Amino acid sequence: MAETTHADVKKLSFEKAIEELEIIVKRLEDGKVPLEESVTIYERGESLKKRCEELLRQAEAKVDKITTDATGKVTGVEPLDVN
């Protein structure tokens, strides 16, 4: 697994971030990683977890912005304000 910076995590899609996070979890669970490397990949895992949570919050906000009429029929989508 190539080492990348925290800034690179911000560019990952949800699917890529969760895939890398799963690899890190498996490596840590196997218990065959030297201590120093364990700390480094754990920190990377924390960054990936935060990225996934951020993307999920954004997706939930988009779903919340879908507008419906009185009968429940979708009438449109309001712009998402993530700021």
* DSSP per-residue string spanning 22-43: HHHHHHHHHT-S-HHHHHHHHH
Tens of pLDDT, residue by residue over 37-49, are 999 999 999 999 9
Say if residue 79's pLDDT is above 90. Answer: no
User: Residue 63: helix, strand or coil by DSSP?
Assistant: helix
**Positive/negative CA dihedral, 30, 35, 40, 44:** positive
Tens of pLDDT, residue by residue over 5-31, are 566 999 999 999 999 999 999 999 999
With 0.75 as the threshold, say if the pTM is over it: no
User: Residue 76: helix, strand or coil by DSSP?
Assistant: strand
Q: Which two tokens stand for residue 6?
A: 């925290």
Domain ranges for the chain, please list them.
6-77
Q: How far apart are CA 20 and CA 48, in angstroms?
A: 8
